């Protein structure tokens, strides 16, 4: 057995410490960056405004962890629907948006960080209605979030469906409950979150529509420093802390407890948690708007 080269090990260790010291020094000297953050009003469990007017959700918890590390000072604007936020972003009135998936249209005026969570979009109907797929819902009304990336996805693939674009998933679920639409398309985590809050058990998952939300932070394209700082902070956020935030908002027991249609829901929910566990892929290049979101 060859003897250990302690001198070489010591030199390598000193080099690592020196590199870490340089990185920390750069971060310490980095000036604070003031950023206009536009939160979405009703996209639980990712970001939403509670009855007391406070922002809550997985995305806001992650952002609060990242902001000090990225030396970002948030100037939080009034919560609003996504379509309103995107319009303001196009007008240069917003610097940062959370819980967004890149699309070619958005990439014209927004940049995107690496994704921090991934979840599937599903077709949801009332338990009292017959189980159908999107192909079988041709000529029937189905609600989907206005401006959500999944909207264009399902419109392109199922043009015969009578699509009704609504402001958010809560409105879509209310229309479903009232029988004004035959089904809705939304991400599974949001459906579970909203129906639990409303104590609505008259729903089931009928189909995984083949669309996955890989949610990122979006920033004004003319301010790439925001994205660079957030990506660096995302890579540095401890795995234990990321997992703690995920488990708080996407808890497997809570998902199981919300089961109106046990087997289908839990099967997809397991996939949701597995996908969610892949948040913050280290070293992944920033998204460049070549995929579709919400």
Query: According to the model, what pLDDT value does residue 213 have?
Result: 86
Distance separating alpha carbons of residues 30 and 18, to the nearest angstrom:
18
Query: According to the model, what pLDDT value does residue 73 have?
Result: 97
CB proximity list for 64: less than 8 A, separation 6 or greater? none
Token pair of 18 as six digits = 């020196």
Judged by DSSP in three states, 117 sits in strand
Distance separating alpha carbons of residues 197 and 220, to the nearest angstrom:
33
Query: According to the model, what pLDDT value does residue 224 have?
Result: 97
The one-character DSSP state at 136 is G
Query: According to the model, what pLDDT value does residue 246 have?
Result: 85
Q: Strands (DSSP E) along the chain, which ranges?
A: 33-37, 42-43, 47-49, 55-56, 72-76, 96-100, 110-112, 117-125, 141-145, 162-166, 183-187, 204-220
- How many residues does this entry show for the chain? 294
Put residue 50 in one of left, alpha, beta given phi > 0 → left and psi -120 to 50 → alpha. Answer: beta
Domains annotated for the chain, with CATH where assigned, are 31-118+213-276 (3.40.190.10), 120-212 (3.40.190.10)
pLDDT tens over the chain, length 294 residues: 444 454 554 454 455 455 444 445 455 568 999 999 999 999 999 999 999 999 999 999 999 999 999 999 999 999 999 999 999 999 999 999 999 999 999 999 999 999 998 888 999 999 999 999 999 999 999 999 999 989 999 999 999 999 999 999 999 999 999 999 999 999 989 998 998 888 887 899 999 999 988 899 999 999 999 999 999 999 999 988 988 898 888 865 554 444 444 334 444 444 444 444 444 443 444 444 444 445
Q: Residue 50, exposed/middle/buried by CB under 10 A (0-12, 13-18, 19+)? A: exposed
């Amino acid at each position: 057995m060859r003897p250990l080269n302690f001198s070489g090990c010591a030199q390598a260790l000193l080099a690592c410490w020196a590199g870490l010291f340089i990185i920390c020094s750069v971060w310490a000297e980095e000036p604070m960056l003031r950023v206009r953050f536009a939160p979405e009003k009703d996209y639980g469990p990712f970001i939403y405004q509670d009855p007391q007017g406070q922002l809550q959700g997985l995305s806001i918890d992650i952002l609060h962890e990242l902001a000090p590390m990225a030396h970002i000072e948030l100037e939080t604007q009034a919560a609003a629907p996504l379509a309103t936020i995107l319009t303001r972003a196009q007008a240069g009135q917003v610097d940062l948006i959370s819980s967004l998936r890149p699309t070619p249209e958005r990439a014209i005026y927004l940049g995107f960080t690496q994704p921090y969570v991934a979840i599937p979009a599903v077709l949801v109907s009332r338990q009292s209605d017959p189980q159908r797929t999107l192909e079988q819902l041709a000529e029937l009304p189905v609600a989907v979030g206005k401006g959500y990336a999944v909207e264009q996805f399902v419109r392109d693939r199922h043009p015969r469906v009578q699509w009704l674009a609504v402001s958010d998933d809560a409105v879509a679920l209310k229309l479903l409950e009232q029988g004004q639409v035959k089904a809705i398309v939304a991400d599974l985590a949001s459906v579970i979150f909203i129906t639990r809050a409303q104590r609505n058990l008259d729903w089931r998952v009928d189909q995984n529509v083949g669309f996955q939300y890989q949610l990122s932070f979006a920033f004004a394209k003319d301010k790439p420093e925001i994205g660079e700082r957030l990506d660096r902070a995302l890579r540095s956020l401890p795995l234990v802390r990321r997992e703690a935030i995920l488990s708080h908002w996407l808890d497997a027991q809570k998902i199981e407890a919300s089961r109106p249609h046990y087997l289908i829901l839990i099967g997809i929910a397991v996939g949701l948690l597995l996908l969610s566990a892949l948040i913050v892929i280290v070293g992944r290049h920033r998204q460049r708007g070549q995929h579709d979101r919400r």
